Structure 1
Amino acid sequence: MNKTRFEQGLEVRRSVLGASYVDQAIENADEFNRPLQELVTEYCWGEVWTRDGLTKKTRSMINLAMLTALNRPHEIKLHLRGALNNGVSKEEIQEVLLQTAIYCGVPAAIDSFKIAREVFEESDKN
């Protein structure tokens, strides 16, 4: 493992997903899933999210579209929160999800809209 890349990834991951979520995921890692936590932190967050080619905001919008296409509700919820942290507005999220309805299917978009509404309600309470 590249410690520098891991630390950079940890910093970005915390800024997008929230320190408490990330720290809990790392702390709860056991012998079985620790290698996955290290891989995700080092390569996903440290290698790709730190690149200059796209802003965090753009990466978040792309992730919402891809996760909707893949029908990954847990990750959609997580990345919706991250998108809000990265400055993606509710209107922009709405547009991304409308776009997914056309290219990924209406049922997938319906699920993501439902999850987005839940996340918005939670964020409005905080």
Structure 2
Amino acid sequence: MEKNNRFDSGLSTVKKMVSQEAFENISGMKNISPDFWEMIVAFGFGDVYAREGLSFDKREIITITSLITQGAFDQLEFHIRAALNVGLTENEIKEIIIQCAAYVGFPKAVQAMLIAGNVFEK
């Protein structure tokens, strides 16, 4: 896919997945590094999330699980919000976190559940 098409596809994809507020928060990255913003949008959302084969909700299950496994909690709130926007329920997200507890440990699962709880309250 051509570079401009990848970026445009990525913008379209991320805007389908997240609220306008969440999009504005992450788009601040372009003020720090326009090149990195281009990479996030073109690759992350244009090449990966826009692929056929998995729905957005399945991709978010994988992403949430991966973030918990890595302990990458700074990204977790964004993806829990995206997961809710693409159709996952609060209960499904809780079950993902509970499932992760068995494989990555309770400290990471507890942190993830606290983040999820904050998202659910808002």
Q: What TM-score results when the alignment is normalised by the length of structure 1?
A: 0.88
Q: What percent identity do the matched residue pairs reach?
A: 27
Q: What count of residue pairs does the alignment treat as equivalent?
A: 121
Greater shift in the superposed pair: 18-27 or 44-53: 18-27
Q: CA RMSD in A?
A: 1.6
Distance across 2 between alignment mates of 1:25 and 1:77:
12
Query: Structure 1 residues 73 and 52, CA, compared in 2 at 3 Å: closer, same or farther?
Result: same
Contact 1:76 1:115 in 2 (8 A): yes
Amino acid at match of 1:54: L
Contact 1:26 1:34 in 2 (8 A): no
Partner of 1:36: 36
Question: Which runs of no fewer than 5 residues in structure 2 stay unpaired?
Answer: none
Partner of 1:17: 18
1:67-106 equivalent positions in 2, closer than 5 A: 67-106=67-106
Question: Which runs of no fewer than 5 residues in structure 1 stay unpaired?
Answer: none
Deviation of residue 72 (structure 1)?
1.6
